[in-house]
Amino acid sequence: MEQNSAFEEFDVKNNPARRRDLLPVWIKIFTWLFLIGGSVAALILISGFFLTNVSLSIYGIQAYHPYSIPGFIICVLLIFKGIVAYGLWFEEKWAPKAAIIDAIVGIAVCTIMMVIIPFTNSNINFTLRMELIPLYFYLLKMRDIEKNWNIL
d(CA 71, CA 44): 10
Residue 77 lies in a domain: yes
Residue 41 lies in a domain: yes
3-state per-residue secondary structure call for the chain: CCCCCCCHHHCCCCCCCCHHHHCCHHHHHHHHHHHHHHHHHHHHHHCHHHCCCCCEEECCEEECCCCCHHHHHHHHHHHHHHHHHHHHHCCCCCHHHHHHHHHHHHHHHHHHHHHHHHHHCCCCCCCCCCCHHHHHHHHHHHHHHHHHHHHC
- Kindly state the percentage of the chain with pLDDT values over 90: 52
Domain limits for position 146: 23-151
Structural domain count, the chain:
1
Residue 4 lies in a domain: no
What pLDDT, on the 0 to 100 scale, is given for residue 73?
A: 93
Residue 18 lies in a domain: no
Residue 42 lies in a domain: yes
Residue 30 lies in a domain: yes
What's the mean pLDDT in 119-141?
Answer: 86
pLDDT tens digits, 91-116? 999 999 999 999 999 999 999 888 88
Single pTM value for the model: 0.82
pLDDT at 12 over 60: no
Contact 72, 44 (CB under 8 A): no
Residue 2 lies in a domain: no
pLDDT band at 118 (very low <50, low <70, confident <90, very high): confident
Count of CB atoms situated within 10 Å of the CB of 141: 18
pLDDT at 121 over 80: no
Residue 61 lies in a domain: yes
